[in-house]
Amino acid sequence: MANQVLIVAAEHAARTPAEIARSLRFTPVITGSEQEAVELLGRERFRLIAVSGNSAWQRLRDVAERKQPMTRVLELPDVTNDDTAIRRLMVRYLSPATPQPRFSTEERYRFLTSILESFTGTLELREVLRRIVSVSREEFGADRAWLLHPINEQSEFARIAYIVSAPGCEGDPNDKGPVPLSSEHNLIRRVMEEPRPLVLIEGDADLDPILAKRFSVRSLIVQILRPREEEPWAFGMQMCETLREWTEEEISLFNEIGRYATLALNNTLLHNRAVREMAKVNAILDQIPESAAIYDANGRLERMNAAAQREPAALFTSDAEGRTRSNRHRTLDGAPLAADELPSMRALHGEVVKADYLVHDARSSDDRVVNLKAAPIRDGENRIIGSVVLARDITDERANAERESWRRRRAGCLANLGLEVAAMQPTFENLDDVAASIARAVAGTVRIHLYHAANGLLDLVGFASVDPELQKYRVYWERNPYRPGEGLLGTVFHIGRPLLFYEVRGDALLDYARDEEERAVKAAIHEESLVAVPIESYGERIGVVVISQSDPRRNFDAEDQEFAQSAADRIGAAAHIHRLTRMAQDGHRAAEELARREVDARVRFEAVLESAPIGIAVVSADELRFELANARFLDFAARFGKIALDTKVIDLRANEVLPGSERILKFVAETGETRVDEELPVEEIYVNRIISAARGRFSGITQSLTILVQDVSDQVRSKREIENLASMMAERSARLDSILGSMTDGLWVYDANGAVVDVNQAALNMFGLASRSEAVEKGSFDSLNLRDSESRRISRQDMPYARALAGQIVPDYLAIGKNLITGRDLDLSIAAAPIVSEGIVGAVLVIRDITALQELDRKKDEFLSVASHELRTPLTTIKGYSQLLAQTMNDLVPEERSTYINAVLGEIERMMGLISELLDVSRIETNRLQIHPTPIRWVDFIEGRVSAFRVQHPTRLICFETALPDLTVYADPDRMRQVVDNLLSNAIKYSADGTEIDVRISVDESHALTAVRDRGIGIPKDEISQLFERFHRARNVSSRYYGGLGLGLYIARAIVEAHTGAIQVQSEEGQGSTFTVKLPLRG
């Protein structure tokens, strides 16, 4: 063991500790440097380290714990004359360095306790091995200590798990790889059979000389460590230079250290095995798609898998009370669970739980259905040490199952509606059984209303509800049928399309109530979801089915709407079958009546035949001989055939009466097809001829041919005249449609009752109407808010079309209307005239939108007012100064005369500027604006204009900024000066003193961008689009405070566009404006 004491202190403070160490037979090593002390700790071993000063003591203690963990670190007390305290401390930690005995009983106990604390102070295997080997070597003063693993009688090789050598001990056995054990089996057997450490010296018969040389063994003490459930380890210490005799005390002490080392290895290996097993468990848990959590024996959460960590944080809280409090676990019927009723807690009592629960999801503030499986976790002695819980969200699964159940129920309902019985009843007025079947399928309330054309009402014919309390409201709907277009039900019938209220919010359904009584009924029913579908029977709308439910947990969706539509289709089909059944019964009765009248009919047949206006004949199908012919047919045959008028044609062949007719008659007889010849020319007349085959009632064989002949000469001539007239009318109508379509004025045509019969596209566009049908509905102009020129509403009898229907001609009626899309008022000029054809049959209105003209008149008047003011103001100034000069010319000093003259010249310049603007407007309007582009150094040009305005307005702050050295723009410099000066003067005019004006130049691809920004009054957003129009002045600009004609920006845009550029504006009222001129870069 170490026999040195390290003293870290100044020379005067180290003197007393050194003397005490020597008196106790220890060698003192003194240093005053903390760094040198650290180096000494790395090279030599010390029994005690005595340090002066608290901070140095703490730092050296940390270093000693790493390098010499068994060495005590003592802080020397700060004393001056009395060394008793220092002696007491050092004697306490140092025993006299006598050879024997090494330890007293108490010291041995203290030493082994410190060894155990050191070995078990960590669970990291490498560190445990280091401590076992290093501490043992240091305490016994051995040259080398090591651990080999695995060791048994069959081992061929063992690896060096850890080895430590003293400084100066040559060679590292690790350099030669694993240790071969094939020649050491006898030695291994001896060590394993020996109950205490085995001592070997150089030359022992069982000691392999090769290994002894490799490890430099002179003397050796070795023992076997047997950790539980592990291969044995060999733990040994050796001397490399001297032949040491190991005392009994050292052997016994080394044996105790081996026991503690085995304990430390047990703990560490068990911990590592547990870590590996837990890693496997965690990996397995993470592969489980379900959320999994493990709880300890007290019900507290230990770990979760990855799926559980994605669940809401409160689903697997650490304590049971937290889970019930945060998630509000409940059974499916809504009953809350106590903490001991949770599956994890029940599993701790030995139960295996598998059940569905309601769990509150804080993320969606909704309840989810979760399937929880819980089972106890038992140890090797079958004791419950925890529980495992698997959770799976089955909300969607249950919803799908429930939805599938609803589908089956609805399918069964559709298959067994009972409409077959209803279709066979005398009336189709009682569909309560059908309604009950539908109500059971949807778990709601069903109403069936059918339309009766006789009274124009939708009467209730079927009512059912799964809630008996709602049956009492049947009486209300029986007493109060609907009219088409009235209420929700009438609306669905009217529009012919279903309505689905997935979730009824607020008064969405109450607003459809016809009166307060219906509103109260609907409020009492408290419908949460509703679907209404029309009933159609082969294209004819015959009623409505209304299905509703009051359960807030379920809402109707598209499938319910489809089911309702299917039920309505089946009701419509049953209604059609009912109608056909009634028709069949009526037809049967009619057939009986027809049979009774057949005899009378035959008697009257010949009389009718003779009086018929057309020729009728019957020819046998086999021989083509006449069997019957009336007088008209005989007239036709005598006129165009071979016979005389009084010839008897019965039994004559067809060719004998009408030559060439047998070919056609044979074709009809053979094919059975009816031959129809319309407008057949026969000499100078036209006839319609029909030849048809008459088959036997039972045989189906053609027995005779019927010939019908009618003279249609007059009809043909009339038809051709009508066709000519129709062609002329179609041509005129096409021309009229083309004229109406090209009109910019709106055209309205009314019938004699004041209903709109036609409008042109211009009328639709003018009032924002979507279609002609909408124009027909709004033809009375009530919804178009038609007013007179003084904004008073025009009564219906004073409407221009009404006055035209009364026979008046309205030439120019000024009115105000409204565009339904934009809501903008329109100034209108309306002309109306009656349509006369044997009386007044209608009226025609021509409506012209004169809003732009009115606005142009307003701008013209405003322009004339402003222009006269702008021109009058400089004239007044010129006149005043001229009069002053005329009256006081001789009395004024030259400076004053110069001031007056400059004032006059300035006003003249101002007038010339106004006149130039007017001339520029004239040039722009007549396309005579001339541009003479030349290369301009644009940055210098803009900077020059900014400098000029700074001189003219020294009180204003005008900033110029650009990152460009220079660029060339091809433009007319005079015109561009006019544009830039206008933007700068506007920025100064419309912004307050003290605000900045920024001018920036940048480049965007192939264009130069010049922006002028002010922080003035800005431009109203709705007027930006009109800003560049002639004479336009924004509404927040008063001519009293801001002069000008409203032409500057109009001229500026024309100039910029003449350079193939553009001018843009961005502005917010009250925040200022930014005008950007975009000019192309060329050359």
- Quick one: three-class SS letters along 558-580? HHHHHHHHHHHHHHHHHHHHHHH
User: Looking at residue 436, which CATH number applies to its domain?
Assistant: 3.30.450.40
Q: Which two tokens stand for residue 268?
A: 């560490």
Does a structural domain hold residue 689? yes
Q: Are residues 618 and 703 in the same domain?
A: yes
Q: Are residues 892 and 843 in the same domain?
A: no
What is the average pLDDT across 1042-1054? 73
Q: Which two tokens stand for residue 174?
A: 């690790």
Q: Where are the alpha helices (DSSP H) in 926-1019?
A: 938-952, 973-989
Does a structural domain hold residue 616? yes
Cα–Cα distance, 211 to 217 (Å, whole number): 8
User: CA separation (Å) from 437 to 346, 463, 535, 558, 1059?
Assistant: 45, 10, 17, 20, 79
- Specify the amino acid at residue 141: G
Cα–Cα distance, 73 to 49 (Å, whole number): 5
- Find the Cα–Cα–Cα–Cα dihedral 619, 622, 623, 629, rounded to 10°: -10
What is the average pLDDT across 1010-1021? 90
* pLDDT at residue 74 tops 90: no
Does a structural domain hold residue 720? no
Cα–Cα distance, 28 to 418 (Å, whole number): 115
Whether the Cβ atoms of residue 788 and residue 800 lie closer than 8 Å to each other: no
| 240 contact partners, CB below 8 Å, separation of at least 6 | 143, 144, 165, 169, 170, 216, 217, 218
Q: Are residues 263 and 152 in the same domain?
A: yes
Does a structural domain hold residue 275? no
Whether the Cβ atoms of residue 1073 and residue 1067 lie closer than 8 Å to each other: yes
- Quick one: three-class SS letters along 680-732? EEECCEEEEEEEEEEECCCCCCEEEEEEEEEECHHHHHHHHHHHHHHHHHHHH
Q: Are residues 764 and 906 in the same domain?
A: no
What is the average pLDDT across 218-247? 87
In this prediction, residue 247 carries a pLDDT of 85
Considering only 410-419, 583-592, 993-1002, which range has the smallest mean pLDDT?
Answer: 410-419
* pLDDT at residue 96 tops 50: no
* pLDDT at residue 325 tops 60: no
Q: Which of 904, 922, 940 is the last residue of a domain?
A: 922
| 135 contact partners, CB below 8 Å, separation of at least 6 | 69, 70, 115, 118, 119
User: Looking at residue 636, which CATH number applies to its domain?
Assistant: 3.30.450.20
- Give the relative orientation of helices 34-43 and 54-67 as an angle to the nearest 10 degrees: 20
Whether the Cβ atoms of residue 1021 and residue 1065 lie closer than 8 Å to each other: no
Query: Residues 789-809: pLDDT tens digits?
Result: 777 888 777 888 888 888 888
In this prediction, residue 1083 carries a pLDDT of 42
Q: Are residues 1060 and 964 in the same domain?
A: yes
Q: Which two tokens stand for residue 408?
A: 């089956």
Q: Which of 203, 237, 269 is the last residue of a domain?
A: 269
User: Looking at residue 35, which CATH number applies to its domain?
Assistant: 3.40.50.2300
Considering only 122-126, 190-194, 516-520, 854-858, which range has the smallest mean pLDDT?
Answer: 854-858
The angle formed by the CA atoms of residues 45, 46 and 48, to the nearest 5 degrees, is 160
Sheet harboring 615-620: ordered strands across?
626-629, 615-620, 702-711, 685-695, 675-682
Nearest to 815 by CA among 834, 798, 802, 839: 798
Cα–Cα distance, 340 to 345 (Å, whole number): 5
The pTM (predicted TM-score) of the whole model is: 0.34
Q: Are residues 237 and 383 in the same domain?
A: no
* pLDDT at residue 447 tops 90: yes
* pLDDT at residue 459 tops 90: yes
User: Looking at residue 1055, which CATH number applies to its domain?
Assistant: 3.30.565.10
Q: Are residues 912 and 938 in the same domain?
A: no
Q: Are residues 257 and 306 in the same domain?
A: no
Whether the Cβ atoms of residue 152 and residue 231 lie closer than 8 Å to each other: yes
User: CA separation (Å) from 363 to 314, 367, 803?
Assistant: 10, 10, 68
SS3 421: helix
Query: Residues 243-295: pLDDT tens digits?
Result: 778 888 888 888 988 898 899 888 888 888 888 877 887 777 777 778 888 88
Q: What are phi and psi of 993, to 5 degrees?
A: -60, 145
Q: Which of 326, 358, 393 is the last residue of a domain?
A: 393
Whether the Cβ atoms of residue 76 and residue 9 lie closer than 8 Å to each other: yes
Burial 1052-1061 (b: 16+ CB within 10 A, else e): bbbbbebbeb
User: Dihedral of CA 499/504/505/507: which sign?
Assistant: positive
Does a structural domain hold residue 731? no
Considering only 261-270, 450-459, 582-591, 966-975, which range has the smallest mean pLDDT?
Answer: 582-591
Give the pLDDT band of residue 1011 (cuts 50, 70, 90).
very high
Cα–Cα distance, 932 to 988 (Å, whole number): 29
Cα–Cα distance, 142 to 219 (Å, whole number): 10
Q: Are residues 841 and 861 in the same domain?
A: no
What is the average pLDDT across 37-50? 84
Q: Are residues 453 and 481 in the same domain?
A: yes
Does a structural domain hold residue 766? yes
In this prediction, residue 407 carries a pLDDT of 76
* pLDDT at residue 859 tops 70: no
Query: Residues 97-127: pLDDT tens digits?
Result: 444 445 567 767 777 787 888 788 888 888 8
User: Dihedral of CA 376/380/385/391: which sign?
Assistant: negative
Cα–Cα distance, 599 to 860 (Å, whole number): 93
Does a structural domain hold residue 913? yes
Query: Residues 891-946: pLDDT tens digits?
Result: 777 777 777 677 677 667 666 666 666 666 667 767 777 788 899 999 999 988 89
SS3 405: helix
Q: In the chain, how many domains are there?
A: 8
In this prediction, residue 100 carries a pLDDT of 46
Residues in the chain: 1083
Domain span at 499: 413-583
Cα–Cα distance, 158 to 777 (Å, whole number): 104
Q: Comparing 569 with 610, which gets the higher pLDDT?
A: 569
Cα–Cα distance, 377 to 387 (Å, whole number): 5
Q: Are residues 835 and 877 in the same domain?
A: no
Q: Are residues 125 and 142 in the same domain?
A: yes
Does a structural domain hold residue 406? no
Sheet harboring 301-304: ordered strands across?
301-304, 291-296, 384-393, 366-378, 353-361
pLDDT averaged over every residue in the chain:
81
